[in-house]
A and B are shown apart, each in its own frame.
Chain A
Amino acid sequence: MTTDPARNCFNQAVLSAPRRLALPIAVYPGLALTGAKVSDIVTNPAAQVESQVALRERYRTPCVLSAMDLSAEAEAFGSTIRWSEGEVPTVTGRLVTDRAGVDRLVIPQPGDKRTAVSLEAVRGLRKLSGRPLVLGGCIGPFSLAARLVGVSEAMELTLTEPELMHALLAKSTSFLTAYVRAFREAGADGVIMAEPAAGLLSPRALAEYSSTYIKPLGESMADGHFALILHNCAARLPHLSAVLESGLHSFHFGAPMDLAAALAKVPSEVVLAGNLDPAAVFCQSTPEQVRFATAELLLRTLPFPNFVVSSGCDLPPNAKLENLDAFHHIVARQAEHGAAATPTPFSTQ
């Protein structure tokens, strides 16, 4: 069995596909189809599976996902969570404030508290017919560390107390390594690891505080099949080299990334995905505007087979289904008709 991480199942699916794959990070928008609530998604694995089944039936997507709930890992460490109607839970306060607190921090086990929900959702998704690619979702090491120590504080600590941050990162990475392994054992073909806070760092600091920790994690999971897909919704083109230092071969970027320029810089076996703005495009635009934005992105990335068209981040619960319809419609049209399907800003198709 090869352990070349470039030949993971996700990259192979993308590079061997006869047409451009579309993979918006969408679990919560399925609530509009199932009638469940956000609180169901983050507490009930069956609600996640039902949401994915509903979206898969509507869009025939090749992948199914567990929900992005980036408070679950911090909660497993002991962070306080705030619940609110209609919104994914948020971490409140600071679990650790100093080095002694970091040293006392007990590393949880995968499956503790609500991390069990995502693992169980993956088990449910694995049972779906048609063998779709099953991708779990979890937070990245720096973003988890930032939730534990406070996001603004973590930013400053990278400059003022790097030893504290590295000690905290060692613990967050230890948990995430076990958690990603647990996703694989639950049946996941891969995991989308979201590292949004790292995109606020300088490229040098991103390499030091994020990529350095992801690299051994990725190497430990490389088995010729399992895909670790690194999502960074704040990274810009100057961050690209530092992100690539993670050694991974599958990346998902947010709206700030110049994807065409990034695709021109990465090796052809590295897959990039992204990056339509989840709020501006999927929540606030009209379907016509979504069609245009999607087509424009498809046109810019046309020369690159190693690209997956996607949202730039996890789609929020209030992303409009009619906009997801428009997104999938134009991807399918372009696959059928090529660039000629590209609508103008004033097109009504």
Chain B
Amino acid sequence: MTDLKSLHEAVLNGNAGAAEAITKEALAAGVEPVRLVQDHMMPAMAEVGRRFEAGEYFVPELLLSARAMKRALVILRPLFAATGMPSAGRVVIGTVQGDLHDIGKNLVASILEGGGFEVIDLGTDVSPEAFLASVREKQPHIVAMSALLTTTMPAMRATIEVLQEAGVRDKIKVLVGGAPITQRFSDEIGADGFSESATGAVRLARELVAAA
């Protein structure tokens, strides 16, 4: 009999090998995939987020936990092919054009995924047109943009304008974040939300999807 508490522990402790092994073992024992995700992995990532916010976990711990969950999801994802993964919402995320810094974006993407969101990560240096193409193809609930440089912040405005001109702006919510971003800037460029922290971004994403 698989001890599923150990899956929670494996994600919490960032042990990707254990998360993968326990997931395989649980599936072989007939445990429903959705139970593994919703009852064990998501609560583990919620605890990771809490510890991060409380200053008990830091960036390395968070990234390792996210990696452990991702390793398990690689096994589980094909099993949801028919019904789709249980999802809190779909998010297209990227670092804006001209900006190659990805750690903030990676943190938010990891916590979003841990919170049950389907995350489409476009990477860094993402042009407004690439964001638009992904919106058209993936039809996300949220577009999340990150910037570390003050000089790349205008690319957020440019992306929102491209989404507006293409007629898709009203169909999505836009989140912005990154070291130089402020609520004032978010308001100026017409974003729907801004968060100073990765965990705050996930709370905001949930609120925006719920309100949509």
Which A residues fall within an 8 A CB radius of B? 82, 84, 86-87, 90, 92, 151-152, 155-156, 158-160, 200-202, 205, 236, 238, 278-280, 283-284, 316-319
What is the CB-to-nearest-CB distance from A242 to chain B, in angstroms, rounded to a whole number?
11
A152 touches B63 (CB 8 A): yes
B150 touches A159 (CB 8 A): no
Across the interface, A156 reaches (CB within 8 A) one of B60, B184, B185, namely: B60
Across the interface, A152 reaches (CB within 8 A) one of B58, B61, B102, namely: B102
What is the CB-to-nearest-CB distance from B179 to chain A, in angstroms, rounded to a whole number?
7
Count how many chain B residues have C-beta atoms less than 8 Å from C-beta atoms of the other chain. Answer: 26
A202 and B182 in contact, given A84-B98, A87-B98, A316-B149 (Cβ under 8 angstroms): no
Map CB proximity to A onto B92-112 as digits: 1 under 8 Å, 0 otherwise: 000000101111001000000
A318 touches B151 (CB 8 A): yes
What is the CB-to-nearest-CB distance from A263 to chain B, in angstroms, rounded to a whole number?
20
Taken together as a complex, chains A and B put the C-alpha atoms of A158 and B206 apart, in Å, by 32
Is B59 in contact with chain A by the CB < 8 A criterion?
Answer: yes
B103 touches A151 (CB 8 A): yes
Known: A152-B103, A201-B60. 11 other contacts (CB 8 A): A152-B106, A155-B103, A156-B60, A200-B58, A278-B180, A279-B180, A280-B180, A283-B150, A283-B180, A284-B185, A319-B150
A159 and B182 in contact, given A238-B55, A279-B150, A317-B151 (Cβ under 8 angstroms): no
What is the CB-to-nearest-CB distance from B104 to chain A, in angstroms, rounded to a whole number?
10
Across the interface, B184 reaches (CB within 8 A) one of A159, A238, A278, A284, namely: A284
Taken together as a complex, chains A and B put the C-alpha atoms of A205 and B106 apart, in Å, by 20
Which residues of chain A are within 8 angstroms of B59 by Cβ–Cβ distance? 155, 200-201
Across the interface, A316 reaches (CB within 8 A) one of B101, B150, B185, namely: B150
Which residues of chain A are within 8 angstroms of B152 by Cβ–Cβ distance? 87
Q: Which residues of B50-69 have CB atoms within 8 Å of chain A's CB atoms?
A: 55, 57-61, 63-64, 67
What is the CB-to-nearest-CB distance from A61 to chain B, in angstroms, rounded to a whole number?
22
Map CB proximity to A onto B178-190 as digits: 1 under 8 Å, 0 otherwise: 0111101100000
Across the interface, B182 reaches (CB within 8 A) one of A82, A86, A279, A316, namely: A279
A284 and B182 in contact, given A90-B100, A92-B100 (Cβ under 8 angstroms): yes
Taken together as a complex, chains A and B put the C-alpha atoms of A92 and B123 apart, in Å, by 13
- Count, A-B residue pairs, CB within 8 A: 68
Taken together as a complex, chains A and B put the C-alpha atoms of A205 and B185 apart, in Å, by 34
Which residues of chain B are within 8 angstroms of A90 by Cβ–Cβ distance? 100-101
A202 and B60 in contact, given A86-B151, A90-B100, A317-B151 (Cβ under 8 angstroms): yes
A202 and B58 in contact, given A316-B151, A317-B151 (Cβ under 8 angstroms): yes
What is the CB-to-nearest-CB distance from A164 to chain B, in angstroms, rounded to a whole number?
14
Taken together as a complex, chains A and B put the C-alpha atoms of A200 and B179 apart, in Å, by 13
Task: Give the 7 A-B residue pairs with the shortest CB-CB distance, closest first.
Answer: A279-B180, A200-B59, A155-B60, A202-B58, A316-B150, A87-B151, A90-B100
What is the CB-to-nearest-CB distance from B55 to chain A, in angstroms, rounded to a whole number?
6
Which residues of chain B are within 8 angstroms of A236 by Cβ–Cβ distance? 55
Taken together as a complex, chains A and B put the C-alpha atoms of A284 and B14 apart, in Å, by 38
12 pairs from A and B in contact (CB 8 Å cutoff): A87-B149, A87-B152, A155-B63, A156-B64, A279-B150, A279-B179, A279-B182, A280-B182, A284-B182, A316-B149, A318-B150, A318-B151
